[in-house]
Amino acid sequence: MEIDRQEIVDQLRGRGEDDLADRAERELPEVVDTDQHAALLHQLGINPLELLGGVGGTFG
């Protein structure tokens, strides 16, 4: 699935994780393929299902 990078950045900033948000802005393309970038999303603590309003929390 594809997610806009800004949604990821906004979620990270909303959690007060500005360093991770900056990293996401640097390392992710504008449109993020969750399969292709799964490892980086995991490192950032992002669960793509959570961005889509699905059930689940952040990876930990």
Query: Which residues have a Cβ under 8 Å from the Cβ of 59 and sit 6 or more positions away?
Result: 41, 42, 45, 46, 47
Each of the 60 residues of the chain gets a pLDDT tens digit; together they read: 899 999 999 999 999 999 999 999 999 999 999 999 999 999 999 988 877 765 444 444
Burial class (CB in 10 A: 0-12, 13-18, 19+), 34: middle
Q: Where are the domains of the chain?
A: 2-51
User: How far, in whole angstroms, is CA 48 from its chain's centroid?
Assistant: 7
- pTM here is 0.81
Asked if 46 and 11 count as a contact pair (C-beta separation under 8 A), the reply is: yes
